[in-house]
């Protein structure tokens, strides 16, 4: 059965970093998306779509704005429970918060519970696809893919591999990293909407032998993505240089072991050398900008010039990132770019959170657009979701003046509905979790 989803529409026939932003976008004040069997049949002015699909059922969102669902190109679902942990630099943050929490994922039931919670949180914030790191435990991969499968959600994920510079209970080996990843890839890659991603955490936690093994696995499965971290903090660069004295730079630690290519995703990429920039552009590898994480952990500022010269996606990087919301992430990207001397246009921000991230994942034919044949993954935004936003939007004379306050000040309250493959999927609001008895006892004392 065909369904028409009606409201305002925004889509992007062109890349707003290659075309004047307002020319790259198309806005319908009264539009519709036609959906059947989980796919988009067409979109455009409401009356034209009605005429093309007579007798179709209708869901009318009034003047709310319909967009492709947000695509989060880099997150760590195992860090959901430790998001917004205070005051640490990257290496301290890993040792103090991340590694103790990831050790808990040895329990498959714990992993399953966090996976369910994470996907509910991202859906409540309008995100319909994520690329996530897991832990070294194969069950952590099964958990996120299983939770996504039950929702009909497109997820990219992989076992995080580490064989040094981590707790003993979070280390694998070069052999087990390869073999576990290969088995998980065979089980999940291409099953429904699941896509496996080969995932060395980063060079400091992998020996050359492990990187070599994962490079070999990638060469055997070139349709997979490979995700890792690159040049996040200055002290991290010094650490990498000491561990890999023969490497020309940080990127070379991956390149030398077969982990550089067009289907690679490098999170952060803040402190790049000229050689690294040139090689990343030459190979077509994707950079993933994580602005709330970069500011929260004090890593540095992403160069806004990279949006034009390189393939770039946008991401929350939860839990180092401080929000599950791609709206908040867009706002942070705007603020970081301002510090770099560039004022990103609202069209560019929305494109980064949708098609830009989908392109980073080589998935723009599946998610991140309203193109015919794409999955009907949509987010519907209320552009007057709070009094502060509503009073500003009331003065808008263009769609950009109407949507920019929601980008800068919006949160999950702005998300009126989410569709996964055409099915309304926004989670119901759950009751507040109880404050811990330990905390209350200390507070009373």
Per-residue pLDDT tens digits for 65-74: 999 999 999 9
**Residue 7 has which token pair?**
């409201």
Question: pTM of the entire structure?
Answer: 0.96
- Who's near 127: CB < 8 A, 6+ residues apart? 69, 70, 71, 72, 324, 326, 379
d(CA 118, CA 312): 24
State the pLDDT at residue 91: 78
d(CA 387, CA 218): 50
* CA distance to 9, 216, 404, per residue, from 414 (Å): 16, 45, 12
- Burial group, residue 100, by CB count within 10 angstroms (0-12, 13-18, 19+): middle
Cα angle at 269 between 267 and 273, to 5 degrees?
A: 150
State the pLDDT at residue 2: 97
Look at 47-51, 89-93, 172-176 and tell me which has the smallest mean pLDDT: 89-93
State the pLDDT at residue 90: 76
pLDDT, tens digit (0-9, with 9 covering 90-100), for 426-443: 987 654 555 555 544 555
d(CA 238, CA 442): 40
d(CA 31, CA 65): 9
What's the average model confidence in pLDDT over 234-252?
97
pLDDT, tens digit (0-9, with 9 covering 90-100), for 95-149: 888 999 999 999 999 999 999 999 999 999 999 999 999 999 999 999 999 999 9
State the pLDDT at residue 439: 46
Output the average pLDDT for the chain.
Answer: 95
CATH superfamily placement of domain 70-360: Metal-dependent hydrolases (3.20.20.140)
Nearest alpha carbon to residue 80 among 432, 316, 427: 316
Every domain of the chain with CATH number 2.30.40.10 lies at 3-68+370-424
Fold of 3-68+370-424: Urease, subunit C; domain 1 (2.30.40)
Residue 311 CB neighbour total at 10 angstroms: 20
pLDDT, tens digit (0-9, with 9 covering 90-100), for 256-272: 999 999 999 999 999 99
Every domain of the chain with CATH number 3.20.20.140 lies at 70-360
- Residue 316 pLDDT > 60, yes or no? yes
d(CA 288, CA 271): 13
């Amino acid at each position: 059965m065909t369904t028409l989803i009606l409201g305002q529409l925004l889509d992007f026939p062109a890349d707003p970093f290659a075309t004047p932003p307002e020319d790259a976008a198309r806005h319908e004040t009264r539009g519709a998306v036609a959906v059947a069997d989980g796919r988009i049949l067409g979109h455009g002015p409401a009356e034209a779509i009605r005429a093309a699909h007579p007798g179709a059922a209708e869901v009318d969102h009034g003047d709310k704005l319909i967009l492709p669902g947000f695509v989060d190109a880099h997150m760590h679902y195992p860090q959901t429970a430790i998001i917004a942990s205070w005051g640490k630099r990257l290496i301290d943050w890993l040792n103090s918060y991340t590694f103790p929490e990831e050790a808990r994922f040895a329990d498959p039931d714990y992993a399953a519970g966090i996976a369910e919670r994470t996907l509910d949180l991202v859906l409540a914030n309008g995100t319909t696809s994520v690329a996530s790191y897991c832990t070294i435990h194969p069950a952590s991969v099964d958990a996120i893919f299983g939770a996504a499968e039950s929702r009909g959600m497109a997820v990219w994920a992989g076992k995080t591999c580490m064989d040094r510079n981590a707790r003993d209970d979070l280390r694998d080996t070069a052999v087990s990293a390869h073999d576990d990843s290969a088995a998980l890839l065979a089980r999940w890659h291409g099953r429904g909407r699941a896509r496996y991603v080969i995932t060395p955490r980063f060079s400091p936690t992998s020996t050359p032998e492990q990187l070599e093994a994962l490079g070999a696995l990638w060469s055997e499965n070139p349709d997979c993505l490979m995700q890792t971290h690159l040049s996040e903090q200055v002290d991290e660069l010094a650490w990498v240089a000491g561990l890999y004295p023969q490497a020309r730079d940080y990127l070379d630690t991956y390149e030398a072991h077969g982990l550089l290519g067009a289907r690679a995703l490098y999170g952060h990429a803040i402190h790049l050398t000229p050689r690294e920039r040139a090689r990343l552009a030459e190979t077509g590898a994707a950079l993933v900008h994580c602005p709330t994480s970069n500011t929260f952990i004090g890593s540095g500022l992403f160069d806004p010039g990279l949006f034009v010269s390189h393939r770039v996606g946008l991401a929350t990087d939860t839990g180092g990132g401080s929000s599950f919301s791609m709206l908040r992430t867009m706002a942070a990207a705007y603020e970081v770019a301002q510090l770099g001397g560039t004022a990103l246009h609202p069209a560019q921000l929305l494109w980064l959170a949708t098609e830009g991230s989908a392109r980073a994942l080589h998935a723009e034919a599946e998610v991140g657009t309203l193109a015919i044949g794409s999955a009907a993954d949509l987010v519907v935004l209320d552009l007057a979701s709070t009094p502060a936003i509503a009073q500003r939007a009331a003065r808008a004379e263009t769609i950009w003046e109407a949507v920019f306050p929601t980008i800068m000040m919006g949160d999950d309250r702005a998300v009126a509905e989410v569709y996964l493959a055409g099915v309304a999927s926004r989670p119901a609001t759950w009751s507040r979790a109880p404050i811990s008895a330990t905390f209350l006892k200390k507070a009373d004392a």
